[in-house]
Amino acid sequence: MTQRTSVDKPVILIATGNPGKVRELSGLLGGIEIEFKCLADFPNVAEVPETGSTFAENARLKAVGYAFQTGIVSLADDSGLVVDALGGAPGVLSARYGGEIGFDRKMEMLLAEMECAPDKIRSARFVCAMTIANENGEILAAAEGVCEGRIAEAPRGNGGFGYDPIFVPDGYNNTFGELNDAEKQQISHRARAAAKIMRYLLGFKPL
Ligand code: IMP
């Protein structure tokens, strides 16, 4: 079943509870004839555990899990920061890195870990996997976006969310935290994945 609004627009659930992601995805996927709902509209939905070992696996688990629970075609984003000097950490564990502490502490911890790492390279990348699934567990679309860059010596800027203040995208001197939303949206991992997913959404005509 695909829900429709009173003006007959198809509905897709943006299946994330992360307000930073909801804000970015709403901007990136705006301007098309689809009504987007978010998890805040479904307070009784149980969180889908991220038990996969790759971004793509987790995006798939979340898209299928939330579509199954809500009966609405769901788009899930799994993303994170991959730091070469830390062997790819925090990676799929980006949200859970350091446990229940704020992002100021997580970034402090990451910078401290890098100081101790044998490899002094600062290269890193943000990766975003996006999947759209329906309530029958069918995968309707999947895409991945990557933004290469490096880890700053210290956090800079208050924009964005999560690890943005310590990530400097290639070709820039500013961190994502110092760029405004529009600048980040042009080059981010999420923007790149969303651009591919848009090709599917533009032709989205559910039964
Ligand atoms: P998950 O996809 O729910 O596992 O969470 C991804 C985590 O990766 C977020 O909580 C952030 O910590 C981090 N992350 C993903 N995308 C971004 C971004 O665009 N900026 C900063 N941090 C991000």
Q: pLDDT digits over 88-118, tens only? A: 999 999 999 999 999 999 999 999 999 999 8
pTM assigned to the model:
0.94
Round to whole Å and give the CA distance between 136 and 132: 12
Q: Which of 23-27, 84-88, 200-204 has the lowest mean pLDDT?
A: 200-204
Tell whether omega for the bond before 19 is within 30 degrees of 0, i.e. cis: no
Looking at the chain, the whole-number percentage of residues with pLDDT higher than 70 is 95
Q: Looking at residue 3, what is its pLDDT?
A: 61
| Averaged pLDDT for residues 128-156 | 97
For residue 73, the number of C-alpha atoms closer than 13 Å in the C-beta half-sphere is 23
* 97 close to ligand 1 (CB < 6 Angstrom): no
* 161 close to ligand 1 (CB < 6 Angstrom): yes
| pLDDT confidence bin for 153, thresholds 50/70/90 | very high
pLDDT at 199 over 80: yes
Q: Looking at residue 118, what is its pLDDT?
A: 86
Which of 164, 143, 161, 4 lies closest to 76, judged by CA? 143
Q: Looking at residue 30, what is its pLDDT?
A: 87
Residues carrying an active site annotation? 78
* 155 close to ligand 1 (CB < 6 Angstrom): no
Instruction: Please provide the average confidence, as pLDDT, over all residues in the chain.
Output: 94
Round to whole Å and give the CA distance between 14 and 38: 5
**pLDDT tens, position by position, 50-60:** 999 999 999 99
Structural Rg of the chain based on CA atoms:
17
Which domains occur in the chain, in start order? 11-201 (3.90.950.10)
Q: Which of 38-42, 124-128, 177-181 has the lowest mean pLDDT?
A: 38-42
Distance of CA 133 to the CA centre of its chain: 16
| pLDDT confidence bin for 5, thresholds 50/70/90 | low
Dihedral (Cα; 183, 187, 191, 195), 10-degree rounding = 120
Distance 206 CA to ligand 1 centre (A): 30
Percent helix, strand, coil in the chain, to 5, is 35, 25, 40
Residue 50, amino acid: E
Q: Are strands 11-14 and 35-38 parallel, antiparallel or unpaired?
A: parallel
Distance 1 CA to ligand 1 centre (A): 30
Contact 145, 121 (CB under 8 A): no
